[in-house]
Amino acid sequence: MSGNAKTAWKKSEYLARRHKVKIAIIVLLVITTLASIYSLSMTQYPISFTRMLEIVYEGLCGITPTDYEGRIEHKVIWEMYMPRVLAGLMVGAILGMAGAVMQSVIDNPLADPYTTGISSGAAFGVALFTVYGFTVLPLSSDWAMIANAFVFAMIPCAAILLFATLGRGTSSTMILVGIAIMMVFGSATQLIMFSAEPSSFSSIYEWNIGSLALVKAPNLPFLVASITVLAVALIPLSKYLVIMTAGDRIAKTVGVNAKMIRSVSFFIVSACTAIAVSFTGSIGFVGLVIPHLCRIIVGSSKGIIILSGLIGGLMLMTCDIVARLIILGGLPVGVITAAIGSPIFIYFLIRSRKGSYYG
């Protein structure tokens, strides 16, 4: 094949992949919108589908009902179920995006946002608050636990970045330091749980599984705003992802400072994950499985971060729908993500024997 023909073929392949990404984004937006509406209609109260749509419209327009029954219906939709739906979308999106970045910059298809011990640190902070009432900030009960989870979740990030600054800052170093910190926090949390009262033990256990029911309406604006800011910060990293999977030596030849990109990416991913687990607990497999699904659809393109966010949000909300269909009050969504994510991940492991993860 001549040089011009090869260039033309590569250009056509690039344009075809971009077109595929655009189509996938449009389809996912439509499906996510429909799934969100269906999720809002799944209440434990006798609210019809059309009435639910009216309540959503009235809330968006700032219309407040005057009758008692109308106020109760608004409270059910806007304070009980809307936070759950939005939290599922936002947390699923940020975990999917963080997983795509983590797997690329560390160049490890088995990496996910929790690989570096962030969730273990957050669990330790929650256990300290739940059992002993220890708080890092003098806040109200809900916010104090969230603050504890976030601060302790960022401790592994600080430790890993310190090792990366003092040492070589390779992906292997980050993973090994993260595993060591995960073990330390994990053992400390288990020790606290051993001495906990049954009610406290149950609360910590639910948090470790992960549940969208943990998100309350007053916490929602902060959750949405912080995740939106962090998601916007992740998107510019997309142009480096394909280069980083080629290795540090290749990145250096094209003028990319792999160590700096890895450190910046890791800090943003850590902040994303810390925010997510602080509000909903440790919901597993979203950040691990979603990037692989995206690579099957569009390969290792620049659109993988946005696509991972859309599929991640859709997956987590769909898992929550399944959890609420199984039990009226709803299982913790982490149970469903683990049940669905485990066989999918096993499939990817088998598939990897036949080719590359990043193709």
Residue 228 within any structural domain of the chain: yes
How many CA atoms lie within 13 Å of 202's alpha carbon, on the beta-carbon side?
Answer: 3
The pLDDT of residue 2 is: 55
- Domain of residue 341: give its range: 3-352
How much is the mean pLDDT over the chain?
86
Residue 40 within any structural domain of the chain: yes
Residue 110 within any structural domain of the chain: yes
Structure confidence at residue 122 as a pLDDT band (50, 70, 90): very high
Q: Would the pLDDT of 343 be above 60?
A: yes
* CATH code of the domain in which 7 resides: 1.10.3470.10
Residue 88 within any structural domain of the chain: yes
Q: Would the pLDDT of 247 be above 80?
A: no
Higher-pLDDT residue of 16 and 264 is: 264
Q: Dig out the tokens for 309 from the structure.
A: 């966010």
**Which pTM value belongs to this model?**
0.89
The pLDDT of residue 337 is: 93
Closest by Cα among 269, 260, 265, 272 to 165: 260
H or E segment and range at residue 19: helix 3-41
Residue 210 within any structural domain of the chain: yes
The pLDDT of residue 91 is: 95
Q: Residue 122 and residue 319: Cα distance in Å, rounded?
A: 23
Least confident segment among 8-22, 50-64, 255-269: 8-22
Q: Dig out the tokens for 124 from the structure.
A: 């330790």
Higher-pLDDT residue of 61 and 258 is: 61
The pLDDT of residue 24 is: 85
Total tally of structural domains belonging to the chain:
1
Q: Residue 297 and residue 313: Cα distance in Å, rounded?
A: 17
Q: Residue 355 and residue 157: Cα distance in Å, rounded?
A: 32
Q: Would the pLDDT of 29 be above 60?
A: yes
| Tens-place pLDDT, residues 149-159 | 999 999 999 98
Residue 357 within any structural domain of the chain: no
CA end-to-end span of the chain: 22
Rounded mean pLDDT of 162-177?
76
Rounded mean pLDDT of 303-314?
91
Q: Could you identify the residue written with the tokens 């692989």?
A: 292
The pLDDT of residue 241 is: 78
The pLDDT of residue 354 is: 58
Residue 181 within any structural domain of the chain: yes
Structure confidence at residue 9 as a pLDDT band (50, 70, 90): low
The pLDDT of residue 358 is: 47
| Tens-place pLDDT, residues 201-242 | 888 888 889 999 889 888 999 999 999 999 999 888 888 877
User: CB of 227 within 8 A of CB of 275?
Assistant: yes
| Tens-place pLDDT, residues 78-114 | 999 999 999 999 999 999 999 999 888 887 777 888 8
Structure confidence at residue 148 as a pLDDT band (50, 70, 90): very high
| Tens-place pLDDT, residues 262-282 | 888 889 999 999 999 999 999
